[in-house]
Structure 1
């Protein structure tokens, strides 16, 4: 039971958090986001949710009781998909702070928040020692590469100081996510226990690009019934129809290389726009071109190519980091969905969603798949609705953020420092709030920097206290 002094301390932090909420909102609305305030806010939030006097070493206390974001009255109900698990919008860039902000033995902590607010992972500097170091006048960010919906794990990339390799940098706008010259490391993180297990470095062929790395649950089970995982990177061989699948299995504890057939030598270097685990396969996304998919558990994996819907394939891809502001591929309601913001003038821009009808015959190098258009709406139609006017947001083209993983009608957008949900077929804004993320700057917000993470039952509030996995 908390003492009176503890209650006063918590009350004081709550008052500070309320001030921070107002200050951050006012700062954002002035067009001058203050990332320091956001970082302090995240730490204060964590101290309320996970007070240090709590002796429980496992940070399982998921608090879905932050003040509710602005919800707008619905004129008609959104289609009810039935009972659903909780889900969150997880920021891809975690907060890194001093070790004494964490309970002993805690490597990672996730402060969960109801959408549309962004949930933030935090970790001590020993996990990400290079975080925000000034390197060549750019920032070095740890990055959550992938999440696993079924088990509450996520894969983290964080560099570990200088290495002897030549410095080569991959940029996404002004954000550095890959740092050659800095030793890369990958951690499999457990949101249940707060543990982060570092994967061993591959011998010989290194992992090259976080944007080509995926995480998938292994059908093999541990002796205690727990899950195994495979981390895999697709490494095309330039100028050939071959590629290498570099795989790490928690079942074997080793890296292995598999030759993969079906990569087109005519395609430019793959876009590295993320990897999706779906239907027992990994799907590599290039937002200018399409998807490549294979079964990573097959002895001889064969790639299948799925082009984007007609009219969306681009002969020349724009600069890195541009397309994920207008396009994304996500899983929602058990199907792959492609969302695109397209059009020249803002008032005539449209939001369109397609659903993939996936049928793999196991023979051809192009998967027998068809994209079905689900819906389409113009931004002007959304702006004209009273629910949008009630938010007070300007009539400007937004940026894609996420898709509700349980209801494909609902798409999330960024606009300046706001994040809001739209029932696109109904042209109606459902909720809206100030978006508080550690990084990147507001002007670089995009779907690359958030994950729609459907939580497993063991991470739901009623079950979190009893979970031991």
Structure 2
């Protein structure tokens, strides 16, 4: 059986202590969080990565509005949340938080939070956190790492494998698979290495044929992503309609195999819109935004349209789930799509999964 998982909003909400501790019957918190963590204000947490049984959050005195910090990065502190367990009385979930050592002044600050990755081991008891930085025109890349139990970061210089070194490398996210980290640029390709090796080889893989762009499109996260599903690396894209060539809008997936990219499916949205399961949602026949791919089933893709989340079995063109309530996954002061920049798929620790299931049963008595 596949592990229970959730779509997790990356930009956490800050609630007053009284509201967070309110009794479920009180009005202080009409829509309580699925889980919460006590923090000292004023932090603005953003979830960088989620591993089996652990979460990596970035805390800052300034809210998250951009991923790339530029020449004057704000104070950034990393916290690993792990050891999830059942709260006293069996209601709710508890967790422990570990402060990740800050970088010394002699080391560059975190440049881009979408370039920070996590490999968690043993439900977060072991971990490595890494950021990759590459300067345009340089033949070297810099890997910054901190491991379980270490009190300092280490910096390692690696060979830069990018085919065009004058092109700026801007990470759009990081995923982990098989103990390795994969940094991706959604207009170009993927850089990968084993962060547990003392001097790892940094490898580059281009995006699937025909998907590389000379320049990244605005809001590229709304239509492209790289995720892990059923133990493989998946590139997924919503390809817009091309009226000049008579091509309809479609959803495209490619899987990274040892021999290269393989395409398991490429389906037109029109096929989905014409199904009764879609018509029952009352959603318009419009191209949606890409949210996530199910971690255990690459055929099951989640989309957002008019603030509603719905899932589609792509090969069967069938809507399987539709959330009638509008989502509140993205905690920003302006309307923002629930793209991979702002949400992620998280395989729940067993205790958190049990608590979510218990809450679901209570709500649907």
TM-score range, shorter chain: 0.7 to 0.9
3-state DSSP class of the match of 1:380? helix
* 1:349 lines up with 2:249 in the alignment: yes
Could you list the per-position Cα deviations for residues 72-108 of structure 1 after superposition, in whole angstroms to 9, with x for gaps in the alignment? xxxxxxxxxxx122111111111111233456xxxxx
- Contact 1:230/1:247 (8 A) holds in 2: yes
* Mapped partners of 1:463, 1:420: distance in 2: 19
Mapped pair 1:268 → 2:167: yes
Q: Give 5+ residue unaligned stretches, structure 1.
A: 1-82, 104-112, 114-118, 132-141, 162-168, 359-368
Contact 2:102 2:152 in 1 (8 A): no
**Conservation of the 8 A alpha-carbon contact between 2:136 and 2:165:** no
- 1:449 alignment partner in structure 2: 342
**1:345 Cα shift?**
4.9
Counterpart residue number, 1:207: 110
CA 1:381/1:308 → structure 2, altered by over 3 Å: closer, same or farther? same
Shift of 1:279: 1.4
Q: 1:120 to 1:90 in 2, by over 3 A?
A: farther
Structure 1 counterpart of 2:156: 258
Larger Rg: 1
Q: 1:304-341 CA deviation, whole Å, 9 max, x = no partner? A: 1111110001112223xx11111111111111111111
TM-score by length of 2: 0.82
Contact 1:246 1:256 in 2 (8 A): yes
Following the alignment from structure 1 to structure 2, what is the Cα–Cα distance between the partners of residues 463 and 348?
39
Q: 2:265 aligns with which of 375, 390, 401?
A: 375
Q: Which residue of 2 aligns with 1:65?
A: none
Is this contact kept in 2: 1:248–1:255, CA < 8 A? yes
Aligned to 1:194: 95
Partner Cα separation in structure 2 for residue 212 and residue 121 of structure 1: 26
Partner Cα distance (2:223, 2:35) in 1: 25
Q: Identify the residue that residue 18 of structure 2 maps to in structure 1.
A: 100
RMSD (Å), alpha carbons = 2.9
Deviation at residue 464 of structure 1 after TM alignment? 11
Shift of residue 181 of structure 1?
5.5
Unmatched tracts of structure 2, length 5 or more: 22-30, 85-93, 359-365
Q: Deviations over 1:277-326 (max 9, x none)?
A: 1111100010001100001111111111111110001112223xx11111
* 1:333-412 matched pairs, under 5 angstroms: 333-345=230-242, 348-358=248-258, 369-412=259-302
- Structure 1 residue 241: deviation in Å? 1.7
* Counterpart-to-counterpart distance in 1, 2:43 and 2:193: 34
Q: Which aligned pairs between 1:62-461 and structure 2 lie closer than 5 A? A: 83-102=1-20, 122-124=36-38, 126=40, 129-131=42-44, 142-149=45-52, 152-160=53-61, 175-177=65-67, 180=72, 182-190=74-82, 192=84, 193-203=94-104, 204-205=106-107, 206-217=109-120, 227-264=125-162, 266=165, 268-319=167-218, 322-345=219-242, 348-358=248-258, 369-433=259-323, 434-440=326-332, 441-461=334-354
Provide closer, same or farther for how the CA distance between residues 94 and 197 of structure 1 changes in structure 2, counting only shifts above 3 A.
same
Q: Write the deviation string for residues 11-61 of structure 1: whole angstroms up to 9, x where unpaired.
A: xxxxxxxxxxxxxxxxxxxxxxxxxxxxxxxxxxxxxxxxxxxxxxxxxxx
Summarize the Cα distance change of 1:268–1:191 in structure 2 as closer, same or farther, 3 Å threshold.
farther
1:158 positional shift: 1.8
SS in 2 for 1:238: coil
3-state DSSP class of the match of 2:14? Answer: strand
